[in-house]
Structure 1
Amino acid sequence: MTIIDLQVVSTSGETRNVRVSHSEEPPWTLLVVDPQGRDYRGRGQDLYEALRQVREEMEADSLMLCCNGARKNAHPSPSMSAAGADFVYLMPAYRLLTLRDIFPLLGPAPPGSVVSVREQSNYYRAKLMSRKYLIQWCNPVSWVKVLEAALKGPRNWQPEISQDGVLTWHC
């Protein structure tokens, strides 16, 4: 077990220290011990999922754990999850991810930068949707296909318009 000291922040803005311990291999478990006598436990397919369980319990008591994994833009990649997710990406707003965006899951974070589990999930879903459309329009192959279809279509292919007005090409 690894032991870390972190802060929690209450909805009133008060902070205090807590002790966090977690497993280093499956089964992935996380334990937060509050000096005021309450323990919060989580278990998941990786540390990130265990942390989410702990955070949900803490939110019921109006507390938020101040760590990188509780930041609005934090999320592990699939390969990080497979390795236990002890690191997360802090997704930048307007650029693609790089290695400099990887941070320890349980690294300390400022109290003002952490959000609820629900806020974090909503942000991640919105981010995925915006990237889907951004990547589609930034991809040069997409533009070539659009221009090719608009101008004359691929060589040796015949245009066909479907009943709902969609232009397709066939050999």
Structure 2
Amino acid sequence: MEFEMKYVKLMLNRETETTEELLLYEEAPDDEDMILVKMKINGRIVNIKGENFFSALLALREVLEIENIQIVCNGAAKNVYPSPMQLSMGYGSKAYKLIWGQQAKNADVVDIFDCDEGLEFVGREEQSKYYSDWLRSVMG
């Protein structure tokens, strides 16, 4: 069973920083049509299956937010969001860094599990609202 290992920062209660391993499987062991994201947190293992890595990251963030934990990676940044095409192609691990009022360009593509400095990391709802507002800013 092949996987890619990434290290991601977590902010516990907005004050304590820790680094954890994130295991990314392009095929879940029990369902080859799904991907799997696995993380050990607070002594337990969280397994999240999804259609793509971005949807799995959203589900993982939902679990973490309940415990007041913020994951610090591009996919949790306020102005990072994948296009529908990015989600349907590959495994959904790429997204655009969105610039207000501007169409997304290839130069703006980032890996959702990497961490670019200077981004604002937010909850799922705030990120989704920014994406909706950004879409309106581009559509005119």
> TM-score under structure 2 normalisation?
0.85
- In structure 1, the residue matched to 2:73 is 67
Following the alignment from structure 1 to structure 2, what is the Cα–Cα distance between the partners of residues 106 and 92?
Answer: 19
Match of 1:3 among 2, 5, 9: 5
Deviation at 1:68, TM superposition (A): 0.6
Following the alignment from structure 1 to structure 2, what is the Cα–Cα distance between the partners of residues 120 and 114?
Answer: 9
Identity among equivalent pairs (%): 22
Indicate whether 1:56 and 2:62 are aligned.
yes
Structure 1 window deviating more from structure 2 (8-17 vs 105-114): it is 105-114
- In structure 1, the residue matched to 2:46 is 40
Q: Secondary structure at the match of 2:100?
A: coil
Deviation at 1:127, TM superposition (A): 1.4
Give the CA RMSD over aligned residues: 1.7
Deviation at 1:99, TM superposition (A): 1.2
Q: Secondary structure at the match of 1:113?
A: coil
Structure 1 unmatched runs, 5+: 134-171
Equivalent position amino acid for 1:125 in 2: S
- In structure 2, the residue matched to 1:100 is 107
Deviation at 1:29, TM superposition (A): 1.3
> Cα–Cα, structure 1 residues 11 and 109, in superposed 2: closer, same or farther, change >3 Å?
farther
Q: Secondary structure at the match of 1:88?
A: strand
Q: How many aligned residue pairs are there?
A: 132
Deviations 1:112-149 (A, max 9, x none): 7210011111111111122222xxxxxxxxxxxxxxxx
* Larger RCO (alpha carbons 8 Å, 6+ apart): 2
- In structure 1, the residue matched to 2:30 is none
- In structure 2, the residue matched to 1:118 is 125
> TM-score under structure 1 normalisation?
0.71
Q: Is the 8 A contact 1:69 1:75 kept in 2?
A: yes
Equivalent position amino acid for 1:128 in 2: L
Q: Which runs of 4+ in 1 moved over 6 A?
A: none
Deviations 1:2-48 (A, max 9, x none): 111111012332110111011124411111212x3133332221100
Structure (1 or 2) with the greater helix fraction: 1
Equivalent position amino acid for 1:23 in 2: Y
